[in-house]
Amino acid sequence: MIGRKKKNNQNLQFNAERVFLAATQPLKLAYSYFQTTKYGLTDDEVKERQQLYGKNEVIHEQKKRPVIVFCKAFINPFIGVLTALVVISLVIDVWMAEPGEQEWTGIIIIFSMVICSAVLRFWQEWKAGEATSALMKMVKNSCSVKRIGIADKEEIDITQLVPGDIVYLAAGDMIPADIRIIASKDLFISQSSLTGESEPIEKYPEAKDNKFRKGSVVELDNICYMGSTVISGSAKGIVFQTGINTYLGTIAKSITGVRAQTAFDKGVSKVSILLIRFMLVMVPFVFLINGVTKGDWFSAFIFAVSVAVGLTPEMLPMIISANLSKGAVAMSKKKTIVKNLNAIQNFGAMNILCTDKTGTLTCDNIVLEKYINADGSSDEKKRILRHAYFNSYFQTGLKNLMDKAILSHVKELQMEHLKDSYKKVDEIPFDFIRRRMSVVIEDNQQKRQIITKGAMEEVLTICSYAEFDGTVHRMTDEIKQKAITISEQMNKEGMRVLAVAQKSFIEKEHDFAVGDETEMVLIGYLAFLDPPKTSAANAIRQLHEHGVEVKVLSGDNEAIVKTIGRQVGINTSHSLTGMDIEKMTDDELKEHLPDTTLFSKLTPLQKTRIILLLQEQDNTVGFLGDGINDAAALRQSDVGISQ
């Protein structure tokens, strides 16, 4: 979706202190702090709070009435000049003319050009608005709420929520407001729409690790934000912020308001002003010369008006509107909605395209890139893959993106039949403290083994041995360092690494626990990557051929951004991180912008700052992104393109 965007540098004003206070309340005091009860609110309390806080909806641009859209189609400097000439011609050639000598031809021609231009613009923009509205109407959200007087939970529209409501969450639900979790079971939340991070995170009733410092509100373990999605598990929570006061609401506030002029608007205005100035010089000059030489001042005035008409390109507004409309129609055939016709011209004039990475350049779908032995050699026998597959297949907890990548890869290799020779005995679920999970399986000969998969450092802490070339060796500091070096090298290539370990000949039959994850044998590693889209490299090559520079603005780490940049054909020799940018003044950052093509670990406001500074260097800047975290950058750019 392409639209004309406002240039502003507005900061988000979010009441972080209120969120920290909500997160730090002990569970036993939570109900009283939020002025509610474990049974919810009464009807009177709900009505009172609805009047106090309003509906639970974020600020958004209201749909304009057709009359307003039509009138705005006439707000154009060229249209203004032509309208003034029509009025003057109407007065002179019709009202002041003698009966039978009235001249309507010029008036009709100019007026027709004005109407045609405005109607074309109105029709295209109204159709785009209707298409956008139709998409928004397709989304209806409700939530499960407990209130006093209701025997059980009830489903209500999320706009009716108020602070103090008791909300129940389940897999697949969208978080309807900012919520403090008071009870949960294996709750995993995706905050990708807010942060751009695709990996789900676990939420608990009590926050872990004392994450109560400013700047980390999205990391709070017991707070769920409006717009996030429940991936798995269930929870019960108390609403503490709704509507414009939510984290999502603060982002929405920064992207609403009056839209400023784009590069195209300014160009049209400059040409119009130039013509007006030229007329202001020529028309009086012609009027005076003609009046003095001929002595007929009325005829001189008529001639001067004729000169003004001759200097004005009456067809230009209609030609512009017709061509922009043609472009919008052509793009609609490629499933692209153009919300503002002037964006077409900005799209063509764009010389820098800034783009997000995840889901834009990449597939937003992690794949298993490689699996290798503990010594770094290739797993030709696919032993590491088999163990990883058993671990991912037999677990009953959350199957994250990496588990899905393993299962998908095994399916592609048609190795799924391997599981038929094993049965699951038990499992030790994943948690974010251990950062690993284990399954216990048994083969047809009743031989049991534990297979563990998890973060490199955490798996190494439970490994007493490592296997090289079929031989098991006692774990040493040298072997550990080699494993860490292999992991770091793959991290530098933009891959996420997991370690795989196993322990065979288990005599224990049931009730396995974390204490059984000892004396493990490190057998290998798995490397994952979110690959670039197949069309990305070709699209960037064509942009370069057309003189458009591409810059990547991502919230991901520098290694991954550089890897993806190399794969799609972007120069990776100059890059900056969000921490680098934070230390720079605007003038210092401007000096780096022309050569820098990769920006990593950026916040939404840093993306907006980069685009603003590029615009100040006389660039027409486009931004390609998807997700709420890109909304401010989409708004700031001359051309915002969302998928």
- Contact status, residue 132 vs residue 63, Cβ threshold 8 Å: no
Q: CA distances (Å), 583 to each of 354, 576, 578, 587, in order?
A: 22, 11, 9, 12
Cα 542 to its chain centre, rounded Å, is 24
Residue 516 annotated as catalytic:
no
The pLDDT tens digits of the residues spanning 222-269 come to: 999 988 888 877 899 999 999 888 887 877 676 655 554 566 666 767
Contact status, residue 640 vs residue 259, Cβ threshold 8 Å: no
Cβ atoms of 490 and 497 closer than 8 Å: yes
| Residue 578 confidence (pLDDT) | 84
State the pLDDT at residue 454.
Answer: 93
The answer to whether the beta carbons of residues 175 and 200 sit under 8 Å apart is no
Kindly give the interhelix angle for 77-90 and 263-294, rounded to the nearest 10 degrees: 30
147-to-50, 202, 438 alpha-carbon distances in Å: 14, 27, 41
Dihedral-angle region of residue 446 (phi above 0 means left; psi in -120 to 50 means alpha; beta otherwise): left
169, two tokens: 């969450």
List strand residue ranges (DSSP E) for 31-147, in order: 142-146
Which structure tokens are listed for 112? 């027709």
- Alpha-carbon distance of 235 to 492, in angstroms, equals 37
Show the low-confidence residues of the chain (pLDDT under 50): 1-12, 132, 135-136, 138-139, 209-215, 260
CA distances 545 to 263, 541, 570, Å, are 22, 6, 13
Please give the structure tokens belonging to residue 187.
């709750």
From 132, 162, 156, select the one nearest 56 (Cα to Cα).
162
C-beta separation of 402 from 486 below 8 A: no
Residues 308 and 69: beta-carbon distance below 8 Å: no
Closest CA to 321 of 127, 119, 132, 126: 119
234 and 187 Cβ atoms separated by less than 8 Å: yes
What are the backbone dihedrals phi and psi of residue 634, each rounded to the nearest 5 degrees, phi first?
Answer: -60, -40
**What single DSSP character describes residue 417?**
G
Tokens for 575? 């890059």
Is the dihedral angle over the CA atoms 201, 202, 208, 210 positive or is it negative? Answer: positive
Q: Indicate which residue of 356, 403, 556, 626 is catalytic.
A: 356
Domains of the chain: 16-57+140-255 (2.70.150.10), 66-137+261-321 (no CATH), 350-362+533-642 (3.40.50.1000), 367-529 (3.40.1110.10)
Residue 389 phi/psi, 5-degree rounding, is -65, -45
CA-to-CA separations, 379 to 374, 382, 386, 438, 480, in angstroms, rounded: 9, 5, 10, 21, 19
Among residues 32, 33, 39, which one has the least CA distance to residue 154? 39
Task: Tell how many helices (H) and how many strands (E) occur in the chain.
Answer: 22, 22
Residue 344, token pair as written in the block? 């077409």
- Distance CA(205)–CA(183), nearest Å, equals 5
Pairing of strands 549-553, 352-355: parallel
- Cα–Cα distance for residue pair 1/132, rounded to 1 Å: 9
CB within 8 A of 279, min separation 6: which ones?
307, 308, 311, 312
Q: Which amino acid is at 81?
A: V
Q: What is the DSSP string of 431-478?
A: ETTTTEEEEEEEETT--EEEEEEEEHHHHHTTEEEEEETTEEEE--HH
Q: What is the dihedral of CA 275, 278, 280, 283, to 10 degrees?
A: -110
Give residue for tokens 């920006």.
599
Cα–Cα distance, 374 to 391 (Å, whole number): 18
DSSP annotation string for 300-328: HHHHHHHHHHHHS-TTHHHHHHHHHHHHH
Model confidence pLDDT, tens digit, residues 462-496: 999 999 888 999 999 999 999 999 998 898 887 88
Q: What is the pLDDT of residue 121?
A: 66
> Parallel, antiparallel, or unpaired for β 598-600 and 575-577?
parallel
